[in-house]
Amino acid sequence: MALTAKEVARLGELARIRLTDSELEQLAPQLDVILTAVARVSEVAATDVPPTSHAMALINVFREDVVQPSLTPEAVLAGAPSVEDGRFRVPRILGEEA
């Protein structure tokens, strides 16, 4: 399915990429190799093989959620640069109004 320089130029236009004549001549055979490889994968794909996103199944390993001692609110706020009403005070962002 040899791509022509004209077809590659059209693809460049669609992608809004300006290509020189030498780039078109260089890209045409490279894109042809890519398209041929994709076509071969399509030929091999069997209907009895389900599509997957990973070669091996991914399994999440979760640890057990165990309550452990933690810092008190006072201890946490003691290290804050600014505190207001028992909470961290941070600067306003995105022009928010009070």
- What tens digit of pLDDT does each residue of 63-77 get? 888 999 999 999 999
Indicate the DSSP class of residue 22: H
Residue 33 counted as domain residue: yes
Residue 18 counted as domain residue: yes
Predicted confidence (pLDDT) per residue in 27-52, tens digit: 999 999 999 998 888 777 677 777 77
With beta carbons less than 8 A apart as the criterion, state whether 8 and 27 touch.
yes
Residue 38 counted as domain residue: yes
Residue 30 counted as domain residue: yes
Report the domain count for the chain.
1
The C-alpha R_g of the chain, in whole angstroms, comes to 29
Tokens encoding 85: 């009403």
Residue 73 counted as domain residue: no
Residue 76 counted as domain residue: no
**Domain range for residue 22?**
5-44
